Amino acid sequence: MEASLKSENVQQVIKTIAGTPERVRKALATGLARALEDVVGRAGTTFMSGPSKTQLGVRTTRLRGALASEVVDAGDKIIGRVGDNMPYAAFHEFGFHGTIAVRAHTRVRGWLNAKGQALKTHQTVNQLGAYSLGKNGKPTAPVIGTYQRDIRPEAVRLGLSGFKGLSQVRAYARKINYAGRPFLKPAVDATDIAGEINQELQTLKAA
């Protein structure tokens, strides 16, 4: 920071110098918060849609809805966090290699409609992006991916009717070798966090 110190502005210069650390921390926090909001947006769209072999694909929207970020001013440092509190978020983000114990359970074998015919359970639905204006001036929503929507009747989803048969599955150990389909790390890598912070710091020069 450069300042010209004269008798008529000495108090203002002293006030500016004294307030600089707080202003800098505020600018750092603001820039970081904006960058992490961008990370959340990218994770929920760009990296949660697409081919199921590489990206999760949105099914129930619970995982995407639990994405969140926060910024904390700890005085000597600014801490930014981004994450997802759904229990299975870490499983997809980091993958898993090992053995899990599967409890004994009842499995439903197929679903039937009122006529006794096999019932289609899921439907491929387009995942739409932000609206834009088409050539005809009407709003359009580009397709950015697809997901499988559960289209079973509510009674069937609740297990109250329409099941074809039940089978009892004994408890067993299941080996899992899952590389994961991360959505947070690639979103962080794709976001110019330092650029957002620097942009906010530039406002101090103009102040």
What integer pLDDT is reported at residue 185 of this predicted model?
92
Instruction: Kindly state the percentage of the chain with pLDDT values over 90.
Output: 29
Q: What is the pLDDT of residues 9-35, one digit of tens each?
A: 556 655 655 566 788 888 889 999 999
Q: What is the pLDDT of residues 153-195, one digit of tens each?
A: 676 666 656 656 567 889 999 999 988 889 999 999 999 999 9
For tokens 């997802």, name the residue: 84
- Torsion 153-157-159-164 (CA) sign: positive
Distance CA 77, CA 98 (A): 38
Model confidence over 73-82: pLDDT tens digits? 887 788 899 9
Look at residues 96, 91, 97, 98 and name the one whose alpha carbon lies nearest to residue 183: 91
